[in-house]
Amino acid sequence: MSVQAIAWSPSGAVRIIDQRALPDARIERDLESADAVADAIRTLQLRGAPLIGIAAAMGLVAGTRELRAAPRDAFLARLDRLVALLAATRPTAVNLRWALDRMSRAAQEVAGAGGEGTAIWERLRAVATAIWEEDRAMCRRIGEAGLPLVPDGTTVLTHCNAGALATGGIGTALAPIYLAHDAGRRVQVFVDETRPVLQGSRLTAWELTQAGIACTVIADAVAGSLMRQAAVDVVIVGADRIAANGDFANKIGTYPLAVLAWHHGVPFYCAAPSSTIDAALPDGDGIPIEQRAPEEVKTIAGRAVAPAAAAAFNPAFDVTPARYVTGYVTDCGLVKPPFGADP
């Protein structure tokens, strides 16, 4: 992939692609602190459930670099504050909390064995790097598991961005598409624009064109008409949190897409790594849904598209019930519903 959404900079900062600038410009930024990483997550400079987990882990490393010579208690106190800061950035994606909990456990293990600041920091960097590398491997396995869903000549419809810009590797929903393309299969992708922030048209279409994969951007409302015309072979989307019963949260607009696919008999798949599964959550009713600023709905590229006096409702995600899902494409393989806490 020519797209790498996150990396360590030579100085030890967290290097990201500022996704707000795409597709007009590719701008890389080095985030030198946990505060900068938290701001980047809140403001959608980076997004995608796996990626924000990776970024948060790396942010803890960047945010404690100057404490390497500090005593154990001072280091852990600062770490706790930074964990709370990063955990509060976005509530829906479970990967964020999963990565932060893993980093906290690693720090406590070293501290419990008598390690001071330097030893704790070195372990944090190793674990953050492992989280990143493991995600890259999981993306590859998701692509391999989903490859049979994309035979030669397939037309896929996807929503939002679940590719390299949302993960540490080649993506989740886009991973089978990338591997099919690499295998020489002809693939056509319909890309929902994904209002209100246009992650489909701005990000997914940009990724696919970078890879030389044919894609067509559509308004979100066009998907049903395409299915009625039998122009879509399969729908593949990502997920930000999957409950134990298979209900899952994804970018707003996924739920009506699933209902449309079910009505028209189009297979509908959710692609996500195992870190996105919240086994402690029985069903989707308990998934917290982030509410974002009304300005995202009322403006496009800074231009007003609604009267100032009008209110706006802007949930970032919706929940799709498991009954509408044909299968889950995971790093553990292709899983068909129903499933329990460990698909």
SS3 120: helix
Distance between CA atoms of residues 263 and 45, nearest Å = 36
The answer to whether the CB of 254 falls within 8 A of the CB of 160 is yes
The model scores a pTM over 0.85: yes
* Residue of 240, 247, 278, 331 marked catalytic: 240
240 is catalytic: yes
Give per-residue pLDDT as tens, 231-262: 999 999 999 999 999 999 999 999 999 999 99
The domains located in the chain, with CATH, are 6-141 (1.20.120.420), 144-335 (3.40.50.10470)
Give per-residue pLDDT as tens, 269-323: 999 998 899 999 999 999 999 999 999 999 998 899 999 999 999 999 999 999 9
Give per-residue pLDDT as tens, 99-140: 999 999 999 999 999 988 899 999 999 999 999 999 999 999
Q: State CA 149 to chain mean position distance.
A: 21
pLDDT of residue 341 exceeding 80, the answer is: no
Question: Which letter, b or e, does each residue of 273-292 get, where b requires 16 or more Cβ atoms within 10 Å of its Cβ?
Answer: bbbbbbeebeebeebebbeb
CA-wise closest residue to 280 among 245, 236, 254, 238: 245
Give CA angle at 102 (99, 104), nearest 5°.
Answer: 110
Dump the DSSP string for 219-271. Answer: -GGGHHHHHHTT--SEEEE--SEEETTS-EEEETTHHHHHHHHHHHT--EEEE
Which pLDDT score is estimated for 339?
66
